[in-house]
Amino acid sequence: MQNALIHHIQKFINLELSEIDLLESCLAISRIKKKDHALQEGQICNTMYFIAKGCMRQYIINSKGAEQTLQFGIENWWITDYLSYHNHTPSSFYLQAVENSEVIALDKTVLESLLIEIPNLERYFRIVTQKSFGAMQMRIKFLFTMSAEERYHHFNDHFPEFVQRVPQYMLASYLDFRLNL
Amino acid sequence: MQNALIHHIQKFINLELSEIDLLESCLAISRIKKKDHALQEGQICNTMYFIAKGCMRQYIINSKGAEQTLQFGIENWWITDYLSYHNHTPSSFYLQAVENSEVIALDKTVLESLLIEIPNLERYFRIVTQKSFGAMQMRIKFLFTMSAEERYHHFNDHFPEFVQRVPQYMLASYLDFRLNL
């Protein structure tokens, strides 16, 4: 399953055989059971999670005590709290498995060593982060311009299989249905 | 003024003298007059803009024909449409100067060459993009959890000088005052 990450990396950069060997020796699969947390609010996030199988989400508890899903991640996505990760500050978020998931949890120290050993990985992470940022720009556009119902239809049209995978209350909060229901 | 970018890069990575020379030979300042556009909806975005001086914004025209500001960028920020940039698809956004601005406009072909000549730049862009992504995660949190008034006070507390720089109607749409006014 760590091959899922190596396969993903090779979509963006070339890896030498020795680099693949090194990656294989460092990457381990962790299993996170459905509803278990990889990160709780207030903890410092020192880990980036590559989702090899399953589904994770980033959420907050809002002022009414309700869970508010901000982001989902499925196969081939990275999920983390980047501000906490970079600034070493307590996280504002929860990271939780929506399904039984298999992730590659890369601790900062391991990742920093890998980036020194395989500098080309910087390119991989630069590109996937820029693409994720682009997706987030579209997400903000949709939050501003579509009604919750329009967001639901748009989401269902583009990700019909995903809509079947997640509990509807999580999807409703992700699409910000509080405004319209 | 291109030194502003080199100075910013050196906060994150070390540059050799030869690399600084190369950067200086490639980086040119463009002036964008207040209200002029660097990108219009429907165009393909092939350029990343580093703001050396001034203020830019990313906005959309919503279904009511009103401008909706999604993001501001000031000194030492990059601004672009990452999806259009990476996927070579028409942009959904406008990029406009809010003030008379001085930017370093890096075309994709130039940037790709620079990344090959100075691979360490990948690290710089990886880190600044991850930090921007983290800031965007917080922005989405605030959109979901604060009222527009709370967002205004939070923004004013954290960026009091910035609040003085931009027209209030742009700030109001950035903070999504449509919901509360």
Q: Are B95 and B51 in contact (CB under 8 A)?
A: no
Query: How far does A133 lie from chain B, in Å, by closest CA?
Result: 6
Q: At residue A67, what are phi and psi to the nearest 5 degrees?
A: -75, 135
Q: What local confidence, expressed as pLDDT, does residue A11 receive?
A: 97
Does B180 fall in a domain?
Answer: no
CA angle A51, A56, A61 (to 5 degrees): 150
Separation of alpha carbons A32 and A96, rounded Å: 8
Contacts with B130 from chain A: Cβ below 8 Å: 82, 85-86, 125, 129
Does B179 fall in a domain?
Answer: no
Count of domains for chain A: 1
Question: Is the predicted pLDDT of residue A24 greater than 80, yes or no?
Answer: yes
Separation of alpha carbons B170 and A130, rounded Å: 25
Q: What local confidence, expressed as pLDDT, does residue A1 receive?
A: 61
Of the CA atoms within 13 Å of residue B152, those in its CB half-sphere come to 15
Q: Which residues, other chains included, contact B91 with Cβ-Cβ below 8 Å and sequence gap of 6+?
A: B39, B40, B41, B42, B43, B44, B45, B81, B83, B84
pLDDT band per the 50, 70, 90 thresholds, residue A15:
very high
Q: Are A83 and B138 in contact (CB under 8 A)?
A: yes
In one letter, which amino acid is B76? N
Does B24 fall in a domain?
Answer: yes
Question: Is the predicted pLDDT of residue A179 greater than 60, yes or no?
Answer: no
Q: What local confidence, expressed as pLDDT, does residue B162 receive?
A: 87
CATH at A120:
2.60.120.10
**Contact call for A131 and B62, based on CB within 8 A:** no
Does B181 fall in a domain?
Answer: no
* DSSP designation for B111: H
Q: What local confidence, expressed as pLDDT, does residue B64 receive?
A: 83
pLDDT in tens, chain B (181 residues): 668 999 999 999 999 999 999 999 999 899 999 999 999 999 999 999 999 999 999 999 988 888 999 999 999 999 999 999 999 999 999 999 999 999 999 999 999 999 999 999 999 999 999 999 999 999 999 988 888 889 999 988 988 888 889 998 899 889 887 644 3
Angstrom CA distances, A171 to A66, A134, A168, A174, stand at: 13, 21, 5, 5
Q: What is the largest CA-CA distance in chain A?
A: 55
DSSP3 helix / strand / coil % (chain B, rounded to 5): 50, 25, 30
Q: What local confidence, expressed as pLDDT, does residue B181 receive?
A: 36
A60, A133, A144 ranked by CB distance to B133: nearest? A133
Does B37 fall in a domain?
Answer: yes
Does A28 fall in a domain?
Answer: yes
Q: What local confidence, expressed as pLDDT, does residue B179 receive?
A: 45
pLDDT in tens, A111-156: 999 999 999 999 999 999 999 999 999 999 998 888 888 988 998 8
A42: tokens are 């207030």
Of A38-47, A94-103, A138-147, B110-119, where does mean pLDDT reach its minimum? A138-147
User: Among candidates B70, B67, B65, B66, which has minimal Cα distance to B81?
Assistant: B70
Contacts with A126 from chain B: Cβ below 8 Å: 122-123, 125-126, 129
**Residues forming beta bridges with residue A144, ordered by sequence position:** none
Does A129 fall in a domain?
Answer: yes
Q: What local confidence, expressed as pLDDT, does residue A178 receive?
A: 62
Separation of alpha carbons A92 and A94, rounded Å: 7
Separation of alpha carbons A159 and B16, rounded Å: 46
Q: Which residues, other chains included, contact B111 with Cβ-Cβ below 8 Å and sequence gap of 6+?
A: B48
- A11: number of Cβ within 10 Å: 10
A93 contact B CB<8A: yes
Average pLDDT, chain A: 93
Does A88 fall in a domain?
Answer: yes
Say whether pTM exceeds 0.95.
Answer: no
The residue range of the domain holding A153 is 2-174
CA-only gyration radius of chain B, Å: 17
Q: Chain A, 17-76: which have a CB under 8 Å from a chain B CB?
A: 58, 60, 62-63, 68, 70-71
Q: What local confidence, expressed as pLDDT, does residue B41 receive?
A: 96
Tell me the percentage of chain A whose pLDDT exceeds 90. Answer: 75
Burial B93-131 (b: 16+ CB within 10 A, else e): bbbbbbbebbbbbbebeebeebbeebebbbbbbbbbbbb
Q: What stretches of B23-135 adopt beta strand conformation (E)?
A: 29-32, 37-39, 47-53, 56-61, 67-73, 78-79, 94-97, 101-107
